[in-house]
Amino acid sequence: MGHPALAPGYCKIASALIIEDTMIEDLYDLIGGRSTIEAATERFYEKVLQDESLRHFFKQADMAHLRSRQAMLISMLLGGRVYTGKNIRDAHAGSREHGLNGTHFDLFLAHFRAALEEVGVKPENAQKVMQRLESKRGTVLDT
């Protein structure tokens, strides 16, 4: 019998959240943690800066700072670290003003997935990372 103060289904929901958090934390470690994320982030920006449809978003960017924040954001999404950067929506406002849209977001995802696989992340784990990144589409694009 459950605790009388808890709503029905509360334990089931709490258990699901604990399992999801554990899966996220396991994913961070599973792909190789900080070093893998930093290597993939470096490779990702190499690809983005070579992509004519994306590089204009970074003309004025401090790339060292951006790489650091991106690695921190990815780590946070995978449960490995706290993100202390700008609000994600605000951080992309300038890019949206310059036309950032869903097609660009798809290209960013494709480049990041390729980067993950190039640094040794198994395709099935790269797909799980992509799902976490995809969950931020609406925030990045402010839709």
pLDDT at 19 over 50: no
pLDDT tens digits along 58-113: 998 999 999 999 999 999 888 886 777 788 899 999 999 999 999 999 999 999 99
Q: Say what percent of the chain tops pLDDT 70.
A: 82
Q: Is it the case that residue 133 has pLDDT exceeding 80?
A: yes
pLDDT at residue 80, rounded to an integer: 81
Give the list of residues 6+ apart from residue 84 with CB closer than 8 angstroms, or none: 72
Asked whether the whole model's pTM tops 0.85, one would answer no
- Determine contact, residues 103/96, Cβ cutoff 8 Å: no
pLDDT for residue 7 is more than 80: no
Does the pLDDT value for residue 14 go beyond 80?
no
For the stretch 104-141, what's the b/e string if a residue is b when 16 or more beta carbons lie within 10 angstroms of its beta carbon?
Answer: bbeebeebbbebbeebebeeebbebbeeebeeeeeebb
Cα-Cα end-to-end distance for the chain: 43
Smallest CA-to-CA distance from 107 within 73, 65, 57, 67 is with 57
Structure confidence at residue 11 (pLDDT): 46
Task: Go through the domains of the chain in sequence order and give each one's CATH number.
Answer: 33-141 (1.10.490.10)
